Amino acid sequence: GQQVMQIPQYQHVQEGEDFTTYCNSSTTLSNIQWYKQRPGGHPVFLIQLVKSGEVKKQKRLTFQFGEAKKNSSLHITATQTTDVGTYFCAGYYGQNFVFGPGTRLSVLP
Amino acid sequence: DAGVTQSPTHLIKTRGQHVTLRCSPISGHKSVSWYQQVLGQGPQFIFQYYEKEERGRGNFPDRFSARQFPNYSSELNVNALLLGDSALYLCASSGTFMRNTGELFFGEGSRLTVL
């Protein structure tokens, strides 16, 4: 079956440092979405990438979709304590979204 | 406008019992999906319903079933509960049939504990 992998599993950073999480699919994706889940909360949509090589920015967040549409990354510049949470990528495989295991980010003030 | 609402928020059951979880999508959304999220893992797809028809099913046993009503609300039923069914059950609504599009709007979830 389709698999979505994410690394790292955990990341601890000092406030102000940068953070990157990587997402890899075993097969080519139609599109990929990113979600953020705060501790005790529910996943909240961040962005969707559709085109090969696509790059999108949201303030301090930069999202990339690989040329082969099999990988993606999320980069946060100058992390803040409000960035704490688990970041999930979700790949669309023609019928449903398959979520990765997530990267849990903790930010030390 | 109200977001996706789920009930109950928390519940405790014992092995072998049955549970029904309910979800009301965002007004105007016709697609409802159910996900199971075990602690420390990503959401796992269970079902998708669109216009009251099942449009997708994940790799879950037949103990799991769902339906969508004419008002687009949905129920997830789980029979013969096992300890491993303990999880956060998330409902997500979407304005489209999720073909290459469609942000998922998640509810707060129903946290099920099976003892």
Mean pLDDT, 10 residues at a time, over chain B (115 residues)? Answer: 91 98 94 94 94 91 97 97 98 71 89 98
Kindly determine whether residue A42 and residue B44, on different chains, have CB atoms separated by under 8 Å. no
Residues A61/A74, Cβ–Cβ less than 8 Å: yes
Q: How far is B57 from chain A (nearest CA, A)?
A: 9
Burial degree of A109 (CB within 10 A; 0-12, 13-18, 19+): exposed
Q: Which two tokens stand for residue B54?
A: 């099942």
Determine the average pLDDT of the residues in A74-81: 98
* Mean pLDDT across chain A: 95
A89 and A4 Cβ atoms separated by less than 8 Å = yes
Asked whether the beta carbons of A5 and A101 are under 8 A apart, the reply is: yes
Q: Which amino acid is at B93?
A: S
Residue where the block lists tokens 């990528």: A89
Q: Which comes out higher in pLDDT, residue B38 or A93? A: B38
Q: Which two tokens stand for residue B49?
A: 């319903």
pLDDT, position B97: 56
Residue A1 confidence (pLDDT) = 66
- Do residue A98 and residue B45 have CB atoms under 8 angstroms apart? yes
Q: Which of A42-51, A69-78, B73-82, B97-106 has the lowest mean pLDDT?
A: B97-106
Contacts of B42 in chain A (CB under 8 A): 4, 88, 90, 99-102
| Distance in angstroms (rounded) separating the CA atoms of residues A2 and A26 | 6
Please determine, for residue A86, whether its predicted confidence score (pLDDT) is greater than 50: yes
What pLDDT score does B83 carry? 97
A25 in Cβ contact with A71 (< 8 Å):
yes
Query: Which residues of chain A make contact with B43, given a CB cutoff of 8 A?
Result: 43, 88, 99
Choose from B26, B38, B39, B41 for mutation: most chain A CBs within 10 A.
B41
Share of chain A above pLDDT 90, in %: 87
Is B105 within 8 Å of A43 when comparing Cβ atoms? Answer: no
Secondary structure (3-state) at A81: helix
Compute how many other C-beta atoms are within 10 angstroms of the C-beta atom of residue A20: 15
- A44 pLDDT higher than 70: yes
Region class of B13: left (phi > 0), else alpha (psi between -120 and 50), else beta: beta
Residue B100: the pLDDT is 46
> Taking 90 as the threshold, does the pLDDT of residue A96 lie above it?
no
For residues B46 and B67, give the distance between their C-alpha atoms in angstroms, rounded to a whole number.
Answer: 12
Query: What is the signed CA dihedral for B32, B34, B35, B36, rounded to 10 degrees?
Result: 160
Q: A62: number of CA atoms within 13 Å, CB side?
A: 9
Distance CA A41, CA A30 (A): 28
Give residue B18's pLDDT. Answer: 98
Quote the DSSP letter at residue B25: P
